[in-house]
Amino acid sequence: MSRKKITLSGKEGETQVQDMEVVYRQHAQTVFKYLMLLTHEANLAEELTQETFYQAVRSIDRFDESCKITTWLVCHLQKSVFSYMKNMCG
């Protein structure tokens, strides 16, 4: 199985390639904390954090290198929350 990589713009036009595992380690706590603010439930926040990164890995080929990784993750976070709410309401 190949590892998913993400290319980011670095300083002064440099390019960085990061493993999604590194991206997860760097941003999972922030995503979790944001979800805790929204849900007030640790188990749900953890589940939605995992879903957020799962969806991010699935769509890595559509990552727009001109945007920040945090912006991209927030987009997936919102989709995870909306999907959860939709499933809960009907």
Per residue, what are the HEC states of the chain?
A: CCCCEEEEECHHHCEEEEEHHHHHHHHHHHHHHHHHHHHCCHHHHHHHHHHHHHHHHHCHHHCCCCCCHHHHHHHHHHHHHHHHHHHHHC
pLDDT in tens, 46-90: 999 999 999 988 888 888 878 888 999 999 999 999 999 999 897
Q: pTM of the full predicted structure?
A: 0.77
Q: What are phi and psi of 46, to 5 degrees?
A: -65, -45
